[in-house]
């Protein structure tokens, strides 16, 4: 089951904040009243130590209030950092191989494409727009979970992908042969080829399966205003805009900027050997 940490964080902040406010407005007054009543009716004739101990006990906050006040500042800081600055993600699939591998932990700049409110995603401040070649995290049209792909088409672009060649606005995108490789798929390893592709001055690796494979019914897309066409670098093994369409601007999450940790699936220790910036 996928957990929406934004909803969890906002809920925790709201819960702790409500307890803090409840204590400030109501519960604290009852503690102060209890102390005053004790001083007036019971403190006389008792030792200073007994009075001090009794007052401390009467003044003590309930444990849930104490925890709420302790956690609230930390939760607010985490919510601000995660919502508006940097958010971590883990790569669950191989659609961005060879750029990103399964098990990579990446950092996403939430500020790069504008400041958005958590959960609802409404943009409250413009910064920059996505550019071709950048790696972006977003919510796809068909599923309410984060995906990560490379920005291929901008609003108004015409994108064509045919015979393993990419065209943007009629211009063939350069790719250079690197070496033969084996591409892992659901049916096993298949012979493939590693290329270096350059989009908008951004050089990055892509891989293709040598076999012709299935032909897509559609090869050309005109990108609507306010939408972005996304593709995985693992070109023949990626569910992307070629299948479910362009991504609306309001569903952008942020710009992937770096790999900070890698952990192979299963009982394996994390490693920092893949720490690097992501080609943009």
Q: Which residues are marked as active site?
A: 95, 149
Q: Where are the beta strands (DSSP E) in the chain?
A: 86-90, 104-109, 115-116, 123-125, 135-138, 147-153, 158-162, 165-168, 171-172, 175-185, 188-199, 202-209, 220-222, 227-231, 247-248, 252-262, 276-277
The answer for residues whose C-beta is within 8 angstroms of residue 12's C-beta and 6 or more apart is 71, 75
Q: Provide the H-helix boundaries in 162-244.
A: 241-244
Do 228 and 136 meet the contact criterion of CB atoms below 8 Å apart? Answer: yes
Q: Is residue 123 classed exposed, middle or buried when 0-12, 13-18 and 19+ CB atoms within 10 A define those classes?
A: middle
**Positive or negative, the Cα torsion across 185, 191, 196, 197?**
negative
Interstrand relation of 247-248 and 220-222 (parallel, antiparallel or unpaired): unpaired
């Amino acid at each position: 089951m996928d957990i929406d940490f934004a909803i969890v964080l906002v809920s925790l902040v709201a819960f702790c904040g409500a307890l803090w406010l409840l204590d400030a407005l109501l519960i604290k007054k009852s503690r102060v009243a209890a102390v005053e009543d004790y001083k007036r009716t019971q403190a006389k004739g008792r030792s200073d130590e007994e009075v001090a101990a009794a007052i401390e006990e009467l003044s003590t906050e309930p444990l849930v209030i104490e925890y709420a006040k302790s956690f609230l500042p930390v939760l607010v800081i985490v919510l601000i950092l995660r919502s508006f600055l940097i958010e971590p993600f883990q790569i669950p699939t191989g659609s961005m191989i060879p750029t990103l591998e399964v098990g990579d932990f990446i950092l996403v700049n939430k500020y790069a494409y504008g400041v958005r409110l958590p959960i609802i995603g409404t943009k409250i401040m413009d910064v920059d727009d996505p550019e071709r070649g950048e790696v972006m995290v977003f919510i796809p049209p068909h599923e309410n979970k984060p995906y990560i792909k490379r920005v291929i088409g901008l609003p108004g672009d015409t994108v064509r992908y045919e015979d393993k060649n990419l065209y943007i606005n009629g211009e063939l995108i350069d790719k250079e042969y690197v070496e033969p490789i084996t591409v892992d798929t659901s049916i096993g390893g298949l012979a493939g080829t590693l290329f270096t592709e350059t989009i908008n001055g951004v050089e990055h690796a892509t891989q293709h399966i040598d076999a012709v494979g299935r032909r897509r019914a559609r090869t050309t897309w005109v990108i609507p205003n306010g939408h972005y066409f996304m593709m995985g670098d693992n070109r023949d093994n990626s569910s992307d805009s070629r299948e479910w369409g362009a991504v609306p601007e309001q569903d952008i999450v942020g710009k992937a900027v770096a790999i900070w940790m890698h952990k192979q699936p299963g009982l394996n220790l994390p490693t920092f050997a893949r720490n690097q910036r992501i080609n943009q």
